[in-house]
Structure 1
Amino acid sequence: MDDVAECGGSIKALTSAFLRMLESGESEVQFNEFFARNHGGRGFLSLLSGRNFAMHENDRFMLAFGVEREPRKLLGEISSISQSMIFGLLTPVEFTIQMYRKCVGDLGHFDMTDQVELVKVETLSRHDVAFFDAESIFVNIAFDRKYVSLNLSEKVATRSITERYDAVSGRAKYASAANSDLTRIEYACEVLKELGNSESVLPLRKLCAHPAHFVRWKAVEALINVDYGAGVDVIREMQTDAHPHIRVAASQALRSLIVEVA
């Protein structure tokens, strides 16, 4: 991991080494020792479902154990993934992955006219490995029992939003923040809007320049409710925003504001 990270190699280059590590059985031993040290007592797994526990990390990658406590059927929606990942199973479990690719719409941008199509179905069992490419893959997964996995993921998210698609039609449903930090920032915008005082203006103006485009728009929506003039000024600037959805939304908002004023 460290050598590949230092040389600027891709995460996929680590697949063979990852597979050898799984097949050696050392990962199971490390998992048992790790949880014996840190999570003794009956019933602790019920508190850890859905969690990842880092075993080693550097500036680019994180190697972690994952724990899932309940079986899961295929969901009614397909999801994008935010980080490229090599995924391997330590538990005897039947794990089904439906992989999709975008067939309508541009990669890296989300629109309600987008659509995905099924391109591959994989069934994994113990010591099997799958690679998820966050730049192109959308997934729907199912497993028949609780399991423990070993995951090697890139720490830098390739997507700031999680795209959701209908599992039957493949059509777009909605998008949400890809991680909890962005969700908290969106919530902070709402709080600042509700406070509605002069001290809210500066932090909201700073958030209008946030790297995530949907955070920028959330911030300007809050700002215009706190300081109308400042909000309109930012919306005018957003007509030349780097993201096409922001540019369109800004132009539509300005037209609407002009009508309201008139």
Structure 2
Amino acid sequence: MNELDRALDAMRDAIASHRDAPERLIEPLDRFHDSGYLQRRIARMLDRGVDSTRESVRDIGENNIRLDSRPEYSLHLEIWRAPKPLLHSTAVDSVLRVISPTPVLQRVYRIDGPFDPEVFVADVPLRLESERRIDGIAHAQRKGEGRVYDYVSESPFLTLELSLRPADPYLWFFDRERLRSTYASFSGAQLSGYTLSAKALAAVGEARALPLLMRMTEHPSHAVRWAAIQALGRIDGDAAFERLERAEHDPHPHIRNAAARTLARLRTETEDAHD
């Protein structure tokens, strides 16, 4: 067992006893931060930026490293070099450890309008809820419920974030200058993998995948459900038609509308073929 694994095991044990009190995540986060492995990695990142030797850490972006991810939590290390042009929503309770040579200003915004993480609405504004200064190495608790966080500093700094759940699969993004919603996108690698798998199965027309795709049409994510229905259309037209009829009553409005349009087109094509 390497040093990273030992540090992660100690943190997991602490998380298991603190799940009902997010503020108590500070203790396991501090233990992990104080591990020799992370201290050396932070020193390298501050000296040279994100280095290319990831050891057993999976890279998910130029400045963002996922250290660990489980069904019950996720752990990220991120370097902030400049104010981000886009901010994104969060619906998770988490604790950050901010590591900075200069003070960092934390701004908390609330989404000031209709907010359903699964149903994006453009041009929804953000309203400033609070702001505070964080000095040196300090903690910042983050709560979900339609909040957006921004961090500003005169110099690059790091955040080590421990969340009780993995990051939202579907994030709203907001223009930092206008403070308005601009688009939404998937962040979850697993969900993106599901949608890509459905498209790949459709491309090769793999009939043996029919039972799996039928189960995927019941997935909690609307994007996975719709990708599975589309894939069914390439493999089994009857099954796809039946799922489209069910999708007219889907809880997500985008799927209901898309299913209604698709069924109307298919019925028109069928009528034209019979004329």
TM-score, length-normalised on structure 1? 0.75
CA distance in 1 between counterparts of 2:203 and 2:27 reads 49
Q: SS of 1:202's equivalent?
A: helix
CA contact (8 A) 1:102 1:114 kept: no
Say yes or no: does 1:34 pair with 2:42: no
Superposed CA deviations along residues 99-130 of structure 1, whole A, max 9, x for unmatched, are: 32222223344233461313134443312322
Say yes or no: does 1:147 pair with 2:161: no
Number of the residue aligned with 2:77:
66
CA distance in 2 between counterparts of 1:207 and 1:27 reads 37
Number of the residue aligned with 2:59:
none
Say yes or no: does 1:177 pair with 2:186: yes
Residue 251 to residue 194, structure 1, CA distance change in 2 (3 Å): same
Q: SS of 2:112's equivalent?
A: strand
CA contact (8 A) 2:112 2:127 kept: no
CA distance in 2 between counterparts of 1:171 and 1:38 reads 36
CA distance in 1 between counterparts of 2:155 and 2:164 reads 27
In structure 2, list runs of 5 or more residues that go unmatched.
Answer: 1-10, 55-62
Residue 91 to residue 113, structure 1, CA distance change in 2 (3 Å): closer
CA contact (8 A) 1:208 1:216 kept: yes
2:176 pairs, out of 150, 167, 181, with 167
Matches within 5 A, 1:19-58: 30-31=34-35, 33-35=36-38, 45-47=50-52, 49-53=63-67
Identity among equivalent pairs (%): 19
CA distance in 2 between counterparts of 1:146 and 1:156 reads 25
The letter for the 2-side match of 1:136 is: G
The letter for the 2-side match of 1:241 is: D
Q: SS of 2:265's equivalent?
A: helix
CA distance in 2 between counterparts of 1:105 and 1:198 reads 41
Number of the residue aligned with 1:115:
124
Offset, 1:147: 3.3
CA distance in 1 between counterparts of 2:158 and 2:176 reads 26
Number of the residue aligned with 2:141:
131
CA distance in 2 between counterparts of 1:207 and 1:58 reads 21
Matches within 5 A, 1:1-16: 5-6=16-17, 9-11=20-22, 13-14=23-24
CA contact (8 A) 1:80 1:162 kept: yes
Say yes or no: does 1:222 pair with 2:225: no
RMSD (CA atoms) = 3.6
CA distance in 2 between counterparts of 1:141 and 1:37 reads 24
Number of the residue aligned with 1:236:
245
Query: What count of residue pairs does the alignment treat as equivalent?
Result: 248
In structure 1, list runs of 5 or more residues that go unmatched.
Answer: none
Offset, 1:156: 4.9
